[in-house]
């Protein structure tokens, strides 16, 4: 059965389409409105509808409304000017004109005209003689201060007190009659004043830097006692969860809600209260008076509150000068605020890479982490290089590792000690070591105690007594299919035709648990490392290389110990029987994915010996070729059954590199191709994992180590569904199977169909949760065991024990269930603890792999750039937009910091260095000033809509 969610909201547009699956571009006039709507709140849309009803009643009683007047003003502007009307978008905007699209195109445009006229009138009224530009900027700035005292580089928002509110209200009324002239004048001067505005913004930033030192450190709240936390959790007054800090906007942090349907938001570094990314924290709901609620603003009269509400509308929803009805203001603007009150476990390593800055007349230096989610750190000068004080400029580009030792409650800065000097920033090896250290990856040499656990006699031979306990499969045609560069070969395949027309298919996995005895030093080290970490240029192995590359690796023409799963299976993929057991194999050839793909694509070809790696002479090449073809045929049927049964696969672009063999520097990069040979291996690995999961859960219902994939978070799915509806994309997110069918059916036939699918795949991946290891005895309900993407009730990892410790535990469980291994001496709690540790290490490994790829791509661009590529816009934010660079599978956020006003509501264009950006059917070119470097710094840009 396909996993399902509650039926989604009826979409009139979708019903009108009558099942049409071909992609259709959104209407030209409101295309931009639809783009913006992706981060607008449906709750606020309902609020605006309620407001519209209230306004309608007021218009009947009081005559023409401001909206109608603004629309009349707009219609008086010539067509050429009308399309160039500037529109300012606040960073906190929560309103989309598309929410009013049913009322006609002009109604959505009129809202922009209302806000526009008031914005320009306000700006003119602020330009009074005798008031310096610096003072005006200081009055308007309402920026947030980071934990280390820096000003956040977010959008500047106005700050209104009671007196300011009345003063600005009178100024706007006074200038309302001249707003149309202001609009026209502003349009005509906009492009001419571009450089002036850039300079003005630079002065403003310099002024910000001068004032940041005046920000006094805020006293952070002391932590609760463990006893109070325990009582609060039991009473439901406190919530525990793992902290996630947004790497692109480090003021925002989240923990999952208790029901795991949505996230709890922590606003700012004060709310995080010294906790770092990944820490297990306990949060408390703050008193209501500390919530963000405009109804609680300090106003002395109802009129003040109405005026303040008008400002808030201006700041939060691009809508000003509205007749605010205070009776329904609190609901949409109340926001619950939480704060960290206790750190249960410091999961973050507290080790960070960064640079040192000399501070005159201070007994310490300032350490600035590369990761902005970590506060700046005061480091004693005694830890710095000996000549740092006299030659501190020489260390400007040097990377260091610093370990945080303390986070005082009365300081914006942490305290720490320098651990190591890495080398020059931007170089691969220093940067790689910094990444591994930050994510607590153990890349040290294995200790003597660990190496003592390995076989002493090398070359090693299988003992005769062990051979007698196992099924001997050395005469069978068994082979491996792996990447060409792989050295840890932990799985092999076999396929033997049977007289009745069926096949005997085997999956043979390296028996690592034979060498890694439970409780020994080797086992403890592997348990702690939990996974191998794959970097672009090397692998940090979980096990010593003697095991992972020699004794356990299923190298060709060598006898190896394995765990086998053998099925009798029909050509259509129906399983007739199943056998598990320990075995001995002898691989006849090491095929790469390229070799297997060549065999699949040329079924009639006779391959010569020189076209393949060395082959065991006991097995003919044509026999191996036919086995690959039979496996491919069965795998296609298995795959079709999986997807017809409701499975989902979200393939994202993966960047790979070609490296110089001597220097290991990147010489080129390309998108890794996922082909039929990859799918062949994947199908049988999935089949083996599913079969093993059922076996160990049946035998050990309280101890089985399984892997579950929770469904995506409902709130994010609803938001994505709403976005796709607004963009005219017919997609069904109600279940994994429905989503997979939608992605296959909405490609379209235009030149951007493939790019559109890649963007949609990335968008659909965002609501997805991570798959997790767990102990079956911990979760009480079996429905929670389910794997959402695979749409199977039970799943585990069995097929990669060389690189995953979880698989070793599964092997031990399987051996015990077959009475061919020692009895288990672990408890449910121990399996649960190890499962959680494996989850953490797997997440860290994945992030390290991503950072390694980003590092090599950055070095490649620096050495070989600039590069040309098509890209497609994935998301439009208030101050930036995200793009997917299609040739390289790289996601980038493009910031627009100098020019904050956007022109027109039609399709637009501009140029970003070498990128040609597209959003579905819309083309964007972003023009960047020539002196800017694409080195990770924010791009200053001007968006011009044509």
**Mean pLDDT confidence for 869-891:** 80
Can you give the pLDDT at residue 756? 82
Q: Residue 882's domain is classified under what CATH number?
A: 2.40.50.140
Say whether both 489 and 343 belong to one domain: no
How far, in whole angstroms, is CA 126 from its chain's centroid?
42
pLDDT at residue 142 tops 90:
no
**Mean pLDDT confidence for 543-552:** 95
Measured between alpha carbons, how far is residue 946 from residues 351, 585, 882 in Å?
49, 67, 21
pLDDT at residue 45 tops 60:
no
Q: Confirm whether 511 is domain-assigned.
A: yes
- CB atoms inside a 10 Å sphere around CB 134: 13
Nearest to 489 by CA among 557, 567, 579, 566: 557
Q: Confirm whether 128 is domain-assigned.
A: no
**Mean pLDDT confidence for 790-796:** 97
- Note whether 357 and 130 are within 8 A (CB): no
**Where do the H-state alpha helices sit in 83-178?**
105-126, 133-140, 162-175
- CB atoms inside a 10 Å sphere around CB 207: 16
Out of 167-171, 536-540, 841-845, least confident range: 167-171
- Tell me what percent of the residues of the chain surpass a pLDDT of 70: 67
Q: Confirm whether 35 is domain-assigned.
A: no
Q: Which of 326, 348, 370 is the last residue of a domain?
A: 348
* 491 marked as binding residue: yes
- CB atoms inside a 10 Å sphere around CB 334: 15
Can you give the pLDDT at residue 703? 95
Q: Which of 837, 859, 881 is the last residue of a domain?
A: 859
Say whether both 341 and 453 belong to one domain: no
Can you give the pLDDT at residue 46? 54
Q: Confirm whether 842 is domain-assigned.
A: yes
Q: Confirm whether 556 is domain-assigned.
A: yes
pLDDT band at residue 587 using 50, 70 and 90 as cut-offs: very high
Say whether both 583 and 694 belong to one domain: yes
Kindly give, in sequence order, each residue whose CB lies less than 8 Å from that of residue 293, ignoring residues fewer than 6 positions away. Answer: 330, 333, 334, 335
pLDDT band at residue 867 using 50, 70 and 90 as cut-offs: confident
List 254's β-bridge partners, or say none: 244, 265
- Note whether 136 and 339 are within 8 A (CB): no
The pLDDT tens digits of the residues spanning 221-266 come to 899 999 999 999 999 999 999 999 998 788 899 998 887 777 888 9
Tokens of 765: 């991946």
Residue 233: which domain range?
219-292+334-348
* 482 marked as binding residue: yes
For residues 673 and 668, give the distance between their C-alpha atoms in angstroms, rounded to a whole number. Answer: 15
Can you give the pLDDT at residue 88? 34
The pLDDT tens digits of the residues spanning 703-713 come to 999 999 999 98
Can you give the pLDDT at residue 319? 29
Give the torsion through C-alpha atoms of 209, 211, 214, 217, to 10 deg: -50
Sheet with strand 338-345: strands edge to edge = 238-242, 280-285, 338-345
**Mean pLDDT confidence for 75-98:** 34
Mean pLDDT, rounded, of the chain: 75
**Mean pLDDT confidence for 4-14:** 44
Count of residues in the chain: 946
For residues 138 and 151, give the distance between their C-alpha atoms in angstroms, rounded to a whole number. Answer: 13
pLDDT at residue 592 tops 60:
yes
Say whether both 779 and 901 belong to one domain: no
Total domain count, the chain:
3
Nearest to 331 by CA among 37, 718, 41, 43: 43
Q: Residue 340's domain is classified under what CATH number?
A: 2.40.50.690
Q: Confirm whether 366 is domain-assigned.
A: no
Nearest to 462 by CA among 453, 452, 472: 472
Can you give the pLDDT at residue 751? 72
CB-count exposure of residue 469 (10 Å: 0-12, 13-18, 19+)? exposed
Q: Confirm whether 342 is domain-assigned.
A: yes
CB-count exposure of residue 635 (10 Å: 0-12, 13-18, 19+)? buried
pLDDT band at residue 66 using 50, 70 and 90 as cut-offs: very low
Say whether both 877 and 843 belong to one domain: no
For residues 880 and 874, give the distance between their C-alpha atoms in angstroms, rounded to a whole number. Answer: 11
Say whether both 904 and 844 belong to one domain: no
- CB atoms inside a 10 Å sphere around CB 237: 12
Out of 101-110, 607-616, 691-700, least confident range: 101-110
> Does 932 or 658 have the greater pLDDT score?
658
**Mean pLDDT confidence for 479-490:** 95
Say whether both 495 and 593 belong to one domain: yes
859-880 as b/e, with b when 16 or more CB fall inside 10 Å? bbbeeeeebeebbbbbbbbbbb
For residues 747 and 729, give the distance between their C-alpha atoms in angstroms, rounded to a whole number. Answer: 10
Say whether both 532 and 663 belong to one domain: yes
Q: Confirm whether 608 is domain-assigned.
A: no
- CB atoms inside a 10 Å sphere around CB 632: 20
pLDDT band at residue 121 using 50, 70 and 90 as cut-offs: very low
Measured between alpha carbons, how far is residue 284 from residues 67, 223, 239, 342 in Å?
43, 11, 7, 9
pLDDT at residue 330 tops 80:
no
Q: Which of 799, 832, 859 is the last residue of a domain?
A: 859
For residues 671 and 853, give the distance between their C-alpha atoms in angstroms, rounded to a whole number. Answer: 12
- Note whether 788 and 709 are within 8 A (CB): yes
pLDDT band at residue 337 using 50, 70 and 90 as cut-offs: confident
Say whether both 782 and 897 belong to one domain: no
Can you give the pLDDT at residue 282? 96
Task: Pick from 77-81, 174-178, 337-341 the range whose average pLDDT is largest.
Answer: 337-341
- Note whether 824 and 816 are within 8 A (CB): yes
Say whether both 465 and 493 belong to one domain: yes
Q: Map tokens 């060498």 to a residue.
A: 515
In order, the DSSP letters of 683-723 are: HHHHHHHHHHHHHHHHH-TTT-EEEEBPPPPHHHHHHHHHH
Can you give the pLDDT at residue 457? 84
pLDDT band at residue 336 using 50, 70 and 90 as cut-offs: confident
**Where do the H-state alpha helices sit in 348-456?**
428-438, 448-451
> Does 920 or 722 have the greater pLDDT score?
722
Can you give the pLDDT at residue 219? 75
pLDDT at residue 25 tops 60:
no
- Note whether 89 and 157 are within 8 A (CB): no
DSSP 729: -
Nearest to 589 by CA among 620, 550, 547, 635: 620
> Does 582 or 915 have the greater pLDDT score?
582
pLDDT band at residue 182 using 50, 70 and 90 as cut-offs: very low
DSSP 768: P
**Where do the H-state alpha helices sit in 818-884?**
828-864
Can you give the pLDDT at residue 131? 40
| Three-class DSSP category at 273 | coil
DSSP 804: B
DSSP 145: B
Tokens of 358: 């000399």
Measured between alpha carbons, how far is residue 162 from residues 173, 299, 301 in Å?
17, 6, 9
Say whether both 532 and 478 belong to one domain: yes
pLDDT at residue 482 tops 90:
yes
Say whether both 797 and 897 belong to one domain: no
pLDDT at residue 196 tops 90:
no
Can you give the pLDDT at residue 825? 85
Can you give the pLDDT at residue 744? 84
């Amino acid at each position: 059965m396909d996993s399902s969610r509650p039926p989604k909201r009826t979409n009139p547009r979708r019903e009108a389409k009558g099942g049409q699956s071909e992609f259709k571009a959104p209407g030209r006039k409101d295309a931009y409105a639809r783009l913006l709507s992706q981060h607008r709140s449906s709750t606020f849309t309902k609020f605006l509808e309620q407001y519209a009803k209230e306004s309608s009643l007021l218009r009947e009683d009081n005559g023409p409304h401001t909206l109608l007047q603004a629309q009349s003003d707009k219609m008086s502007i010539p067509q050429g000017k009308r399309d160039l009307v500037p529109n300012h978008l606040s960073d906190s905007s929560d309103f989309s004109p598309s929410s009013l699209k049913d009322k006609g195109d002009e109604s959505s445009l009129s809202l922009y005209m209302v806000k526009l006229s008031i914005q320009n009138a306000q700006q003119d009224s602020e330009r009074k003689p005798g008031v310096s530009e610096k003072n005006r900027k200081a009055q308007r700035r309402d920026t947030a201060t980071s934990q280390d005292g820096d000003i956040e580089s977010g959008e500047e928002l106005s700050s209104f007190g009671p007196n300011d509110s009345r003063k600005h209200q009178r100024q706007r009324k006074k200038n309302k009659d001249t707003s149309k002239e202001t609009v026209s004048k502003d349009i005509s001067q906009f492009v001419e004043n571009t450089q002036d505005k850039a300079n003005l913004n630079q002065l403003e930033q310099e002024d910000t830097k001068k004032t940041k030192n005046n920000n006094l450190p805020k006293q952070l709240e002391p932590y609760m006692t463990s006893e109070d936390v325990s009582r609060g959790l039991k009473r439901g007054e406190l919530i525990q969860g793992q902290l996630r800090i947004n790497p692109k906007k480090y003021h925002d942090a989240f923990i999952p809600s208790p029901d795991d349907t949505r996230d709890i938001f922590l606003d700012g570094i004060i709310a995080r209260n010294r906790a770092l990314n990944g820490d297990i924290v306990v949060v408390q709901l703050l008193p209501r008076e500390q919530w963000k609620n405009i109804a609680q603003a300090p106003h002395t009269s109802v009129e003040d509150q109405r005026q303040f509400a008008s400002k808030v509308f201006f700041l939060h929803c691009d809508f000003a000068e509205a007749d605010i009805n205070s009776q329904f203001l609190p609901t949409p603007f109340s926001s619950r605020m939480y704060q960290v009150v206790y750190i249960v476990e410091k999961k973050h390593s507290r080790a960070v890479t960064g640079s040192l800055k000399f501070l005159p007349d201070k007994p310490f230096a300032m350490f600035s982490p590369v990761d902005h989610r970590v506060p700046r750190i005061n480091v004693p000068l005694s830890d710095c290089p000996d000549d740092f004080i006299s030659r501190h400029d020489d260390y400007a580009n040097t990377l260091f590792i610093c370990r945080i030792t303390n986070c005082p409650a009365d300081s914006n800065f942490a305290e720490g000690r320098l651990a190591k000097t890495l080398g020059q920033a931007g170089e691969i090896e220093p940067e790689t070591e910094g990444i591994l250290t930050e994510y607590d990856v153990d890349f040290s040499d294995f200790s003597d105690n660990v190496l003592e656990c390995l076989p002493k006699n090398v070359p090693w031979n299988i003992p005769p007594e062990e051979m007698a306990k196992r099924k001997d499969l050395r005469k069978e045609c068994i082979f491996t299919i792996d990447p060409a560069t792989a050295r840890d070969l932990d799985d092999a395949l076999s396929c033997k035709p049977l007289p009745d027309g069926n096949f005997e298919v085997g999956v043979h996995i390296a028996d690592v648990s034979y060498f890694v005895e439970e409780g020994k030093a080797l086992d403890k080290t592997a348990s702690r490392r939990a996974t191998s970490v794959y970097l672009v240029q090397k692998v940090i192995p979980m096990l010593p290389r003697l095991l992972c590359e020699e004794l356990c690796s299923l190298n060709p023409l060598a006898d190896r110990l394995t765990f086998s799963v053998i099925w009798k299976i029909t050509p259509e993929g129906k399983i007739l029987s199943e056998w598990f057991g320990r075995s001995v194999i002898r691989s006849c050839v090491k095929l790469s994915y390229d070799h297997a793909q060549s065999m699949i694509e040329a079924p009639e070809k006779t391959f010569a010996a020189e076209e393949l790696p060395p082959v065991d002479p006991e097995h003919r090449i044509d026999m191996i070729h036919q086995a690959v073809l039979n496996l491919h045929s069965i795998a296609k049927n298995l795959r079709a059954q999986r997807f017809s049964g409701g499975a989902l696969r979200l393939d994202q672009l993966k960047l790979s590199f070609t490296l110089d063999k001597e220097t290991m520097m990147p010489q080129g990069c390309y998108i890794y191709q996922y082909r039929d040979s990859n799918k062949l291996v994947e199908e049988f690995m999935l089949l083996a994992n599913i079969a093993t999961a059922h076996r160990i859960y049946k035998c050990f219902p309280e101890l089985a180590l399984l892997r579950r994939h929770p469904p995506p978070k409902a709130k994010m799915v609803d938001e994505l569904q709403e976005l796709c509806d607004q963009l005219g994309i017919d997609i069904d997110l109600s279940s994994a199977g429905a989503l997979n069918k939608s992605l296959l059916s909405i490609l379209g036939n235009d030149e951007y169909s493939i790019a559109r699918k890649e963007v949609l795949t990335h968008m659909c991946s965002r609501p997805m949760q991570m798959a997790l290891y767990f102990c079956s005895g911990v979760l009480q309900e079996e429905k929670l065991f389910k794997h959402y993407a695979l749409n199977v009730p039970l799943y585990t990892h069995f097929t990669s024990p060389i690189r995953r410790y979880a698989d070793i535990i599964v092997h031990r469980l399987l051996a015990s269930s077959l009475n061919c291994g020692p009895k288990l001496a672990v408890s449910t709690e121990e399996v649960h603890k190890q499962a959680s540790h494996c989850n953490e290490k797997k997440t860290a490994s994945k992030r390290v792999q991503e950072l390694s790829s980003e590092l090599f791509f950055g070095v490649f661009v620096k050495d070989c750039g600039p590069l040309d590529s098509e890209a497609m816009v994935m998301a439009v934010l208030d101050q930036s937009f995200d793009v997917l660079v299609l040739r390289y599978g790289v996601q980038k956020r493009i910031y627009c910091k100098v020019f904050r006003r956007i022109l027109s509501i039609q399709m637009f264009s501009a140029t970003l260095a070498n990128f040609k950006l597209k959003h579905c059917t819309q083309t964007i070119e972003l023009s960047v000033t020539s002196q800017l470097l694409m080195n990770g710094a924010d791009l200053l840009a001007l968006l011009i809509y044509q």
